[in-house]
Structure 1
Amino acid sequence: MLVTLTALTSPLAFAADAPKNVAAAVADTTRPETDTKRDADRKPAEVLAFTGVKTGDKVLDLVAGGGYFSRLFAGAVGPTGAVYMFNPTEFTKNSKNPVPANGSKPDPAHPNITFVNTSINELKAPEKVDIVWTSQNYHDLHKTYMGEGFDIAKFNKVVFDQLKPGGTFIVLDHSAKAGTGRADIESLHRIDEATVKKEVEAAGFKYEGSLDVLRNKSDDRSAKVFDPAIRSKTDQFVLKFRKPN
């Protein structure tokens, strides 16, 4: 069954109605202020509830950046779960900030997070996971700095293989105009969601539905996502795919 969910209540009201593990993760007082200041735009309670994350789950946060969602997932899965915070070397090689060593625990407040830092072509989680998550980075996997040997079709199959049967792959990204395919990736950092669906389903995933809470009809999708007029308020899609049992 395909499901499209919309936000019918305020974020705070939804957080109160969210699954207990999700509400606790959002309310976690160890979350840094730099994270909580972003909650109004990122709607973490709604988004995590949509993923279906449960206590004890194993999660791979794909191209995790600074770990905003890694910390949320760490709270949601609890001490019996695990979060693998993956930042590929293709993304970190020019970073001015120290990159945690592969296999290290980068966040003392969330010891169930383990850092994974390898080439994206060598991605392999320490164990099969229940959820693979990527936020605002799927479009980056098509960019020129990925190298000539990178193949998005092969990569989606790698993601498929990281999941347990019945596991889910969630893709959140900036929306491009319908029908534009990959045309706006380099210039606007946006991708057509129909292209994402086509590519992910080709790896064997089954599309399950979308979440509309990050949609913004006032974004005409013609501006670069870093434009101050639209930054943090772009029209974004959240798509859920499942690996068949």
Structure 2
Amino acid sequence: MTRTTLRYAFAVTLMATSGAVIAASAVVNLKTVLADPGRPDADKVRDADRKPAELIAFAGVKAGSTVAELGPGGGYFTRILTGAVGAKGHVYAMVGRPSPVLSDYAATHANLSVVSIQPGEINVPAPVDVVWTTLNYHDFKNNKVGDSDVAALTNAAAFKALKPGGVYFIVDHQAAPGAGTSVTSTLHRIEDKAVISEVEAVGFKLETRSALLAHAADDHTLAVRETGIRGKTDQFILKFRKPKK
């Protein structure tokens, strides 16, 4: 093999594997974030099931990113996202009620703002790179504002809040095929097909999905907090993109 041929073969291999190399690098860089002694031990115990480093890499969150997080709860992902975006990025945690835990955390992290919102709103000072929500979309379906459910309002708000080319990232508990939105208030699950249809209806395009949190042993018949299934539910990961034009 000639030297020119070797160079060409190396270039082809590099292009073919660059995506995997970037993703792996992002996971490695987040080890320090996950090991932060400021993270609660209870959060660290959940890392094996929730795979946060891999999710951050898949969503494309990186140093300097701006992120609007919807339904941050106790701040499990808030703390990780804040570490991932670094000092040059910013995380806006959207909360429907006061969160002393997140407010205390924001007091010592200049790149985190806790923002009080009404259901279906996203309030950011400028368009963001990523709108992120995990295990919340089914609950958005369970609430209404006037004649609209909060999911529809949230999807429209996410489209408006994102930069052109920005990412709308959704993770939730999978429902059985054909269940659609019928078990959002009972089993706290939703079918991925229903989410895709609703999100694309406001202008997003499904770019890709991941089976990272798939659990074949989950038959989708149990409520997500029942003993034996909690933390082990079959979950879908959807990455939508706002068109650049």
- Distance in 2 between residues matched to 1:33 and 1:119, nearest whole Å: 31
Alignment-derived partner of residue 48 in structure 2: 40
Q: 2:37 aligns with which of 15, 25, 29?
A: 29
For residues 105-164 of structure 1, the C-alpha deviation after alignment (integer angstroms, 9 at most, x for no partner) is 643453311101121244321221100000000010110x44444433333111101001
Partner amino acid for 1:44? P
Across the aligned residues of Structure 1 and Structure 2, the Cα RMSD in angstroms comes to 2.2
- Distance in 2 between residues matched to 1:158 and 1:130, nearest whole Å: 14
CA spacing shift, 1:121–1:170, aligned 2, 3 Å? closer
Alignment-derived partner of residue 197 in structure 1: 196
Alignment-derived partner of residue 180 in structure 1: 179
Are 1:66 and 2:74 matched, yes or no?
Answer: yes
Where do 5+ consecutive residues of structure 1 fail to align?
1-14, 93-97
- Distance in 1 between residues matched to 2:162 and 2:77, nearest whole Å: 18
Where do 5+ consecutive residues of structure 2 fail to align?
1-22
SS in 2 for 1:37: helix
Q: CA deviation at 1:101?
A: 11
Alignment-derived partner of residue 164 in structure 1: 163
Are the aligned partners of 1:86 and 1:116 in contact in 2 as well (CA < 8 Å)? yes
Are the aligned partners of 1:60 and 1:132 in contact in 2 as well (CA < 8 Å)? yes
Partner amino acid for 1:186? S
Residues 224-243 of structure 1: matches in 2 within 5 Å?
A: 224-243=223-242
SS in 2 for 1:161: helix
TM-score norm. by structure 1 comes to 0.83
* Higher-RCO chain (CA-CA 8 Å, sequence separation at least 6): 1
Q: CA deviation at 1:50?
A: 0.5
- Distance in 1 between residues matched to 2:137 and 2:81, nearest whole Å: 19
- Distance in 2 between residues matched to 1:164 and 1:20, nearest whole Å: 27
Are the aligned partners of 1:165 and 1:243 in contact in 2 as well (CA < 8 Å)? yes
Alignment-derived partner of residue 142 in structure 1: 141
User: Which one has a bigger Cα radius of gyration?
Assistant: 2
- Distance in 1 between residues matched to 2:192 and 2:108, nearest whole Å: 35
- Distance in 2 between residues matched to 1:228 and 1:108, nearest whole Å: 36
SS in 2 for 1:183: coil
- Distance in 2 between residues matched to 1:101 and 1:236, nearest whole Å: 27
SS in 1 for 2:72: coil
Alignment-derived partner of residue 77 in structure 1: 85
More helix by share: 2
- Distance in 1 between residues matched to 2:180 and 2:80, nearest whole Å: 31
Percent identity, please: 45
For residues 6-41 of structure 1, the C-alpha deviation after alignment (integer angstroms, 9 at most, x for no partner) is xxxxxxxxx975355433322333222121111011
TM-score norm. by structure 2 comes to 0.83
Are the aligned partners of 1:172 and 1:239 in contact in 2 as well (CA < 8 Å)? yes
Alignment-derived partner of residue 99 in structure 1: 99
